[in-house]
Amino acid sequence: MMTGCRLIQTVVAYANPQLRVNACDMPERFDALVEDFRSRPNVEILRTGHLVSRVSDYIIYSVEAKNIDAVVKQFGPSTKLGAIVGGQTSCKAPEIAAFERHLPPDVHIVSCHSLHGPKVDPKGQPLVLIKHRATDEAFEFVEKVLSCLNSTHVYLTGEQHDRITADTQAVTHAAFLSMGAAWNANNQFPWETARYIGGIENVKINITLRIYAAKWHVYAGLAILNPDAQKQIKQYAQSVTELYKLMLGGHREELRSRIMAAREAVFHTARPSKQEILLKEDVLNQFSLGELPEQRLKNNHLSLLAMVDCWWKLGIVPYDHMICSTPLFRMWLGITEYLFRNDKLLEEAIDTAIDDNTFRHDDLEFTFAARDWSSRVTLGNFDGYREKFEAIQKYFEPRFPDATKVGNEMIKTILAQTRERES
Ligand SMILES: NC(=O)C1=CN([C@@H]2O[C@H](COP(=O)(O)OP(=O)(O)OC[C@H]3O[C@@H](n4cnc5c(N)ncnc54)[C@H](OP(=O)(O)O)[C@@H]3O)[C@@H](O)[C@H]2O)C=CC1
Ligand SMILES: O=C(O)C(=O)Cc1ccc(O)cc1
């Protein structure tokens, strides 16, 4: 059973039909949910979490991370004796604290986190499992139930989970959110500008639109509530600012040596080449939202230079996190790798950064945006996060149907190619 409608859909789609699923959403959504699941005899929609909790052997809370404490406080005491309780929220510190605070001592706690969004096939994607307070038998039960997803199980503690997802998810989202904010601030639809079409530019646009087409609370929750995330996002904003200042001041040598030091730290350490993403330009070109220009326009790729600088400053080697990577993180790492593994392109980015001031206004807005997202996160400002996110969401909304279609195709193609290489 679970709280929250999207997860019910996923479990029902993949689960063994013998499994009985008891589920609820907010009481006002009861009639609509009953209607949605009318043709599913193994799903029973109940009116509240109390009714679900008292009859279920395994309970998953899949609600907004910022509401987890209130929801567990409300329904936790109704948990069936000896049941297993877990959560699917993207940040585990508040979830586990809520379980410890509000659940009776005689229930097991096993949490999980599917590291992908709703439109991605769960097969082979990482699924984090956290055995926080449970017998081996209870843990095996959870593994068995979730095995229907065919995901790759990754065993972590709550703290390990939050540290890794801060590096992978939170900072990745911050970069794409900042791109969207900058395009919006310049009143620009990037697919109408030659600079942003083709190759890795397509990834920037498609992923940015994919993020803005989703719900704000998912990104706000995993950034604001994860104590490690604030540090990462702050460093990213600082790296953007410092590199932008070097560009503005025309400090070519300082900029170059900083970028090369970051490259050495992040990309030149020994690792199995299997982990590299190896994106191909001709494949990426297929996923444009606009017309491909005859000649590719140069870009200084401030967003990517700053990402590698940030990893370097924090001592992070992103390949170490592949086991816990989301599709968006792999795309993001894929495009940074594309730039940093190509000497000609990287030198071109440095030259463009110093010599070409055509896109200074874009980079200025990008710098403001990275800093502004960072301060909203650091201040724990959910309302401010929502307000900014939804204003930008509205701006891009007309292109969501197209962008989601192209973005899903792009992710599917690239993930399939990466999997082929791994096998
Ligand atoms: N979207 C994603 O890609 C992923 C999300 N997650 C995490 O999963 C969790 C759920 O996200 P997602 O499914 O996308 O978001 P949704 O907004 O679709 O789901 C949250 C659901 O919880 C319901 N809810 C809130 N409070 C209660 C309550 N007291 N009783 C019953 N139902 C309640 C909400 O109802 P209402 O809308 O009416 O308020 C809503 O339907 C989040 O913590 C998110 O971080 C994890 C992996 C991937
Ligand atoms: O791939 C990503 O980073 C996404 O944005 C989808 C997503 C969002 C929240 C999660 O907890 C897990 C995956």
On whether the CB atoms of residues 269 and 207 are closer than 8 A, the answer is: no
| Least confident piece of the model among 86-95, 139-148, 284-293 | 284-293
- Tell me if 328 CB under 6 Å of ligand 2: yes
C-alpha–C-alpha distance, residues 283 and 301, integer Å: 20
Report the candidate in 151, 154, 73 with the shortest Cα–Cα distance to residue 111.
154
**Residue nearest (by alpha carbon) to ligand 1 atom 17:** 64
| Least confident piece of the model among 182-196, 272-286, 357-371 | 272-286
Residues with Cβ within 6 A of ligand 1?
Answer: 3-7, 24-26, 29, 49, 62-65, 67, 71, 88-90, 114, 117-118, 215, 218, 221-222
Mutate to test the pocket of ligand 2, among 64, 165, 218 (most ligand atoms within 8 A of CB): 218
Counting atoms of ligand 2 from 1, which one is nearest the CA of 214? 5
Residues ≥6 apart with Cβ < 8 Å to 411: 120, 327, 331
Per-residue pLDDT tens over the stretch 48-89: 999 999 999 999 999 999 999 999 999 999 999 999 999 999
C-alpha–C-alpha distance, residues 133 and 128, integer Å: 15
The predicted pLDDT at position 362 comes to: 94
C-alpha–C-alpha distance, residues 298 and 49, integer Å: 55
Residue 248 sits at the vertex; the CA angle it makes with 243 and 253, to the nearest 5 degrees, is 65
pLDDT at 5 over 60: no
The predicted pLDDT at position 315 comes to: 95
C-alpha–C-alpha distance, residues 81 and 83, integer Å: 6
> 3-class DSSP state for residue 355?
helix
Higher pLDDT, 60 or 293: 60
The predicted pLDDT at position 3 comes to: 55
Whole-model pTM over 0.90 = yes
C-alpha–C-alpha distance, residues 414 and 418, integer Å: 6
Counting atoms of ligand 2 from 1, which one is nearest the CA of 168? 3
Q: How confident is the model at residue 292 (pLDDT cuts 50, 70, 90)?
A: confident
Residues ≥6 apart with Cβ < 8 Å to 30: 24, 45, 47
Query: Exposure of 186 by Cβ count < 10 A (0-12 exposed, 13-18 middle, 19+ buried)?
Result: middle
C-alpha 203 to ligand 2 mean position (Å): 16
- Helices in 213-326 by DSSP H: which ranges? 216-224, 227-249, 252-267, 281-285, 302-314
Higher pLDDT, 274 or 328: 328
Query: Exposure of 273 by Cβ count < 10 A (0-12 exposed, 13-18 middle, 19+ buried)?
Result: exposed
Sign of CA dihedral 355, 361, 363, 368: positive
ipTM (interface pTM)? 0.94
The predicted pLDDT at position 420 comes to: 64
DSSP string, 1-66: -EESHHHHHHHHHHS-TTS-EEEE--GGGHHHHHHHTTT-TTEEE-SSHHHHHHH-SEEEE-S-GG
- Tell me if 169 CB under 6 Å of ligand 2: yes
Residue 151 sits at the vertex; the CA angle it makes with 148 and 153, to the nearest 5 degrees, is 110
Per-residue pLDDT tens over the stretch 10-31: 666 676 777 899 999 999 999 9
C-alpha 102 to ligand 1 mean position (Å): 19
Neighbours of 386 (CB within 10 A): 16
On whether the CB atoms of residues 296 and 284 are closer than 8 A, the answer is: no
What residues pair up with 246 in beta bridges, in sequence order? none
The predicted pLDDT at position 285 comes to: 85
Chain centroid, CA 141 distance in Å: 28
Mutate to test the pocket of ligand 2, among 164, 224, 326 (most ligand atoms within 8 A of CB): 326
Mutate to test the pocket of ligand 2, among 116, 332, 333, 411 (most ligand atoms within 8 A of CB): 116
C-alpha 68 to ligand 1 mean position (Å): 10
C-alpha 234 to ligand 2 mean position (Å): 20
pLDDT at 295 over 90: no
C-alpha 25 to ligand 1 mean position (Å): 9
The predicted pLDDT at position 417 comes to: 78
Counting atoms of ligand 2 from 1, which one is nearest the CA of 113? 11
Chain centroid, CA 284 distance in Å: 20
Mutate to test the pocket of ligand 1, among 6, 78, 129 (most ligand atoms within 8 A of CB): 6
C-alpha 237 to ligand 1 mean position (Å): 29
Instruction: Output the average pLDDT for the chain.
Output: 92
C-alpha 261 to ligand 2 mean position (Å): 30
- Tell me if 335 CB under 6 Å of ligand 2: no
Half-sphere exposure of 161 (CA within 13 A, CB side): 28
**Residue nearest (by alpha carbon) to ligand 2 atom 4:** 117
